[in-house]
Structure 1
């Protein structure tokens, strides 16, 4: 069975290469952008010597693209798939050298990288960042390239707004969207006796129920009921979703375009008091939440050290492929509800481009997205890319589940869902409640203003209340609110 899966993966890569030889139509290249000579990574494949043009035709100028979207070194199977994409592109982009350069966006280090001219040609960031990067002149305008390809009008309008300046010029394309839910380690729910007659986990529907469920799991298994983050900005990010359930709004937009900090509202304070109780009243958290970040949270649930963790559909590879949880022992349910309602923070990951990238480099990077199946097209190349990604997930024990649509053309959405159905390797009921909740009116985008700075202030409070049983939550939230308002005032 393992051999047949690997064989299919090889066939898919070969199919991609064959399809590209006959089907990938190139767009006209735009001139006039500064050439990027600052690539710093090793080469994936030097394909600039492949000659597919007639002797009497001028050869295309060499183009170098640094792929900041390359998988990290530990994901060896993913790297093989990406190498297949590079191989497939040799047929149509013989003048392009694609260079791998795994890059994880960090708000505090990105601008120095821009200033030194070392930004990858293409990279990923978060939906909270594009407006800041656009205003700083740190990313490339790709409107013309998207228009030439016919992609511009296929983008989800709400996402296009996030990626556009005040004049409607566009600076990125979506990788995917996500909505926060609750990831469940089914093995621990089974051990605690918290499954129904059909074996599906009995998940908590309210935050009050979550505390009790977590306590049952801790008492019966010895593992933490919940992994809560309190190390970096991700702690504040997750807390904002908890606060909404308690009725809080953390940043208020004024009519004049400025913002008012609202971290110390009664509702926000109540939410923080609840978090404090998880540590000191229920004792259901991992040993030291102040050392838990986005990555360690997946480690805790994947290795069975925690039963629940706030996560999203775009990260199901983390507890499974990366941390070893069997593919059939991961489930997802909605974020619990509170007095203020049930909400799921909606966000996503865009691809953006170095401000120094030429039009030729941008188009070559967009070609790479197409063979990955990330382009809003339905052709043999895109389908082959979607299938190669799905087969890689199957091979590596990653759930093949439906995506959140980032593009609006129905043909592409249907093609994505058809591939999911073909390669489905999990019981969809393990994820159904999550997708039901996140297709409702409960989706909510991140708070406006200096969002990352707000998360940092909230994380400071989390660290205090989770390390000091006598911490004064109101006083801490008052201080955080004052600090956040000072930042908003300085930026307005």
Structure 2
């Protein structure tokens, strides 16, 4: 506890000397002032959809601490735990009946649809009062904006890479003289490496998803590396572009993983996002496509020790190396009042998920890092969803103070995603519908080695174009 307090106080002193003493002077540059919601004495109730689910007792305890902190400056604000997991099939009905929580998480594929549908609140004015807009990553801000107005803020960002079970690489003899995994640099190398691992260990070398939209999501990254663009845009209209030679070649590669290399889990059509991490964490698969924001899945959730997890760059294809980039934004219910939105943003600041570096924000960052250490989750460098230099410096110091990993198992990944042109946002149009159509083809090629890929891709293209015309190209 003494160490914790000394770190926080040290940060607070340094920041106060660096960025000034008054709220007005500090505004928008990593303020060390405590959050002020501007709610006055009016009773404000915030339904917190970002509250942890019931099974995460430690996380709930941490959030209870955040509530206590908020109460010291916002005695009029009541926080109501209201855990919500975004789902496309139930969201519209909840929004239409005003049953959404005040603040909730979604995916970066969704904001433009939610904004267009009038389901989320415009938070521009509240953000400007807090001087946050200029601190947001420009690309992410664009995803969360329409006509110059902002409708959300980033929780974090991610870029897909390749997760490795280091123990399985050791068991297969695929490590260097210092014991570090010799990981595949290309998709062709991945197929060969995965085959060797399965032959030597009896377990899958690679976990390919084939159950739901996540399968198409992962495939899109492979397709880009083969030179494909799966949707084209022209003057606001979208055209399906699935049945190209490049996309067909990428799907042939997926088919080969099953029938030529025989390196996958027993039935990819049963594998979804969560089961992929189960396989990786328990040693049923040596490699799995994953990102920096999900390192808790193989470790905390599936008990893989941090020393046995590596995150390396996504393999390169014949036409390049791209990392699908996205993340999780916080968005707000359409019927949320200005006071509710402001109080929710102050809560997010206390969590350490804003661009600010107030004492409470630093404590939130530190608490999050300590929580990760206690749960056996890698403490990684922050992905720059917020760009304020003071915030990034403070976060880097906290990360270093709480490091629980060998960065050699991660450094190549972070170096790769910083390269110009590496990050690739998800396909335009209607990405989730695109993924659904691609998943149907994946399911066919991993269950029938005689599948006619060009024919299947042509059918997927026709189906997706129909969806685009009905839902988007109006």
Per the normalisation by structure 2, the TM-score is: 0.92
Partner of 2:370: 391
Q: In structure 1, how many angstroms separate the alpha carbons of the residues matched to 2:10 and 2:269?
A: 48
Q: Are positions 1:339 and 2:318 aligned together?
A: yes
How far 1:234 moved relative to its partner? 0.7
Q: In structure 2, how many angstroms separate the alpha carbons of the residues matched to 1:11 and 1:139?
A: 41
CA contact (8 A) 1:13 1:84 kept: no
Q: In structure 1, how many angstroms separate the alpha carbons of the residues matched to 2:97 and 2:110?
A: 20
Partner of 1:79: 60
User: What's the CA shift string for 1:366-393, capped at 9, x where partnerless?
Assistant: 1110111111112211111100000000
Partner of 1:213: 193
How far 1:61 moved relative to its partner? 2.2
Of 328, 339, 352, the residue aligned with 2:307 is: 328
User: What's the CA shift string for 1:149-208, capped at 9, x where partnerless?
Assistant: 111211111111111112x11000011110000000001111111111111110001111
Q: Are positions 1:469 and 2:449 aligned together?
A: yes
User: What's the CA shift string for 1:46-89, capped at 9, x where partnerless?
Assistant: xxxxxxxxxxxxx7122111111112222221111111111111
User: What's the CA shift string for 1:8-35, capped at 9, x where partnerless?
Assistant: 789999999xxxxx95241434xxxxxx
Q: Are positions 1:26 and 2:7 aligned together?
A: no
Partner of 1:318: 297
Q: Are positions 1:349 and 2:328 aligned together?
A: yes
Q: In structure 1, how many angstroms separate the alpha carbons of the residues matched to 2:33 and 2:122?
A: 27
User: What's the CA shift string for 1:278-333, capped at 9, x where partnerless?
Assistant: 11111111111111111111111011111100000011011100110001110011
Of 297, 303, 306, the residue aligned with 2:285 is: 306
Of 457, 470, 476, the residue aligned with 2:437 is: 457
CA contact (8 A) 2:172 2:197 kept: yes
Q: In structure 1, how many angstroms separate the alpha carbons of the residues matched to 2:76 and 2:45?
A: 9
Q: Are positions 1:230 and 2:240 aligned together?
A: no
Of 104, 109, 114, the residue aligned with 1:128 is: 109
CA contact (8 A) 2:47 2:102 kept: yes
CA RMSD in angstroms comes to 2.0
Q: In structure 2, how many angstroms separate the alpha carbons of the residues matched to 1:323 and 1:88?
A: 32
Q: How many pairs are equivalent? A: 451
Q: In structure 2, how many angstroms separate the alpha carbons of the residues matched to 1:78 and 1:9?
A: 18
Q: In structure 1, how many angstroms separate the alpha carbons of the residues matched to 2:5 and 2:446?
A: 50
CA contact (8 A) 2:159 2:323 kept: yes
Partner of 1:69: 50
Moved more, 392-401 or 60-69: 60-69
Q: Are positions 1:244 and 2:224 aligned together?
A: yes
Q: In structure 2, how many angstroms separate the alpha carbons of the residues matched to 1:143 and 1:116?
A: 24
User: What's the CA shift string for 1:60-119, capped at 9, x where partnerless?
Assistant: 122111111112222221111111111111211111111222221112211111112111
Secondary structure (helix, strand or coil) at the match of 2:429 reads: coil
Structure 1 residues without counterparts, runs of 5 or longer: 17-21, 30-58
Q: Are positions 1:159 and 2:169 aligned together?
A: no
How far 1:340 moved relative to its partner? 0.8
CA contact (8 A) 1:9 1:391 kept: no
User: What's the CA shift string for 1:226-251, capped at 9, x where partnerless?
Assistant: 11111111110000000011111111
Q: In structure 2, how many angstroms separate the alpha carbons of the residues matched to 1:298 and 1:210?
A: 18
Q: In structure 2, how many angstroms separate the alpha carbons of the residues matched to 1:232 and 1:395?
A: 33
Secondary structure (helix, strand or coil) at the match of 1:466 reads: helix
Alignment of 1:41-56 (within 5 A): none
Counterparts in 2 of 1:10 and 1:86: CA distance versus 1, 3 Å: farther
Q: In structure 1, how many angstroms separate the alpha carbons of the residues matched to 2:325 and 2:284?
A: 27
Q: In structure 2, how many angstroms separate the alpha carbons of the residues matched to 1:303 and 1:329?
A: 11
Of 367, 374, 379, the residue aligned with 1:400 is: 379
Moved more, 70-79 or 192-201: 70-79
Q: In structure 1, how many angstroms separate the alpha carbons of the residues matched to 2:71 and 2:9?
A: 12
Counterparts in 2 of 1:67 and 1:483: CA distance versus 1, 3 Å: same
Q: In structure 2, how many angstroms separate the alpha carbons of the residues matched to 1:185 and 1:417?
A: 26
CA contact (8 A) 2:206 2:263 kept: yes
Q: Are positions 1:482 and 2:462 aligned together?
A: yes
Per the normalisation by structure 1, the TM-score is: 0.89
Q: Are positions 1:444 and 2:424 aligned together?
A: yes
Partner of 1:172: 152
Alignment of 1:272-291 (within 5 A): 272-291=251-270
